[in-house]
Amino acid sequence: MVSDLVSKVRIRERFVVAITLFAAIMLPLGASNVAAEGLPAPSLVEAVLSPTDGQLELDETLSVSVTFQSDVPISSMYISWTTPTGGRHSGGIYSWTKSGDHYSGSIKWTLSEPDSWPSGQYSLEALSVTDTTGRTTYFAGPGQIHDPRLAPDSLDFTVTNSIAPPAPPSLVEAVLSPTDGQLELDETLSASVTFQSDVPISSMYISWTTPTGGRHSGGIYSWTKSGDHYSGSIKWTLSEPDSWPSGQYSLEALSVTDTTGRTTYFAGPGQIHDPRLAPDSLDFTVTNSIAPPAPPSLVEAVLSPTDGQLELDETLSVSVTFQSDVPISSMYISWTTPTGGRHSGGIYSWTKSGDHYSGSIKWTLSEPDSWPSGQYSLEALSVTDTTGRTTYFAGPGQIHDPRLAPDSLDFTVGTFVSPPTDTAAPVLQEFDYTPTAIDVADGPQEVVVTARVTDATGAAAPTLILSSDDTTQTLGFGEMTRISGTAQDGIYQGTVT
């Protein structure tokens, strides 16, 4: 405080108010041209079911033809229906006919298999399109129609003269080998299952949680049929200690999908849904392998170009290094795009040096329809190691690792102009303070200092410092606040007490 220095003084006689100006290194001029707001989401022009009355019999053809209006190409469309068994029939369109800004495509099925198309009502569950910017637009979701052009039930249909909707499959047996669940390295683990089902089984999925908290999983896609019984098996040889560390492997999930599109769950995370699956009957323990390793750690993640400023035809790359006691299988990375979509990719090949695993991924921004101008923000970064464990270093809106500085992997696409060369210091154009005289005998007083500062490339806020004419004392009052103007020509104020 000024009153700590003297008991009675007039600023204009005893003190000089000094303004120190620091040149600012301003960011490059921002991205121009097509902003995200200039790329509206695709709109639905029409969606037509054939036959138009939605009435189908076996051996007839079901088709859906759609047209969308879009300023950028459509990559794919997804459509699904709930089936009379509570399952799902779905499909996609990946090839499009373009006419101006209209994209048209179709998908069809021939209802040749009664086991796949039982009689009953098929109700639209979802309809969405993904464009080349990575944005997915939803026109219908579970139980909801999001677009007025999709009249209720307009894409629903009914199948007649087929089989009645069958009952769900039931589990006849599920057998683990070895039956005592005790395994050592180089031994073989297998699971054999039999289901009773009125329609064919398409696939079975099984997974276990691992000693590292990861997941080992697999599927059965080939079945032996005996009457209404479907049998299959899956096996692994535990040859790699890095993939099968010692410890307990607990059944996480077991489900089957039949040809009607219905998935029946016999076990889910932490739950057994079928009495034939005695608790722990499919669990197993691995011995004489390595101890469960610690999770991988991030050593570095580097974006190129390092300033995160990209123009079309330039190359974006991300190089990463992880420290891990076991090999890294894959890395996943994604960004949210200026349209609210997602750009993503993965690394599956690694260079090993000791316990460090390095890899990179890159894109050339050759298509403006895929890389509109604007900000791309890191959405997720994770790695999966050979134990089946996935470690997350960044998730939606969150950075989980201190080595990922905020925005360090974000980037901007646009047209950038280099700033003019900054060869001149900022200039103090105007300076004033009020009141011009104070008396601090009765206590502290305030003086408001006002300055106008100009600089061709922009100046940082001035710093306000008082220094004594008679002594070496100085007193700092921090940065002044810009109350009007710009960094190139601004009015700043600060208060001295």
Q: Residue 46 in contact with residue 471, Cβ under 8 Å?
A: no
Q: Does residue 82 lie in a domain region?
A: yes
- Host domain of residue 443: 2-26+422-496
Looking at the structure, tell me whether residues 409 and 451 fall in a common domain. Answer: no
Residues 276 and 390 in one domain: no
Residues 56 and 155 both lie in one domain: yes
Strands 309-310 and 411-413: parallel
Residue 362, judged by CB atoms within 10 A of its CB (0-12, 13-18, 19+), counts as: exposed
Total number of domains in the chain: 4
User: Rounded to the nearest 10 degrees, how much is the dihedral formed by the CA atoms of 125, 129, 135, 139?
Assistant: -50
Tokens of 341: 């979509």
CATH code of the domain containing 270: 2.70.50.60
The tens-digit pLDDT sequence of the chain (497 residues) is: 333 333 323 333 333 333 333 333 222 223 223 334 458 999 999 999 999 999 999 999 999 999 999 999 999 999 999 999 999 999 999 999 999 999 999 999 999 999 999 999 999 999 999 999 999 999 998 878 888 888 889 999 999 999 999 999 999 999 999 999 999 999 999 999 999 999 999 999 999 999 999 999 999 999 999 999 999 999 999 999 999 999 999 999 999 999 999 999 999 887 888 888 888 999 999 999 999 999 999 999 999 999 999 999 999 999 999 999 999 999 999 999 999 999 999 999 999 999 999 999 999 999 999 999 999 999 999 999 999 999 999 987 788 888 888 889 999 999 755 555 667 888 888 888 788 777 766 767 778 888 898 887 778 888 877 776 666 666 667 788 888 878 788 888 888 87
Residues 111 and 186 in one domain: no
How many Cβ atoms sit within 10 Å of the Cβ of residue 299? Answer: 14
Q: What angle do CA 149, 151, 156 make, to 5 degrees?
A: 120
**Coil, strand or helix at 337:** coil
What CATH number has the domain bearing residue 363? 2.60.40.10
Q: What are phi and psi of 11, to 5 degrees?
A: -55, -45
Residue 71: inside a domain: yes
Q: Could you tell me if residue 457 is inside a domain?
A: yes
Domain boundary among 413, 447, 470: 413
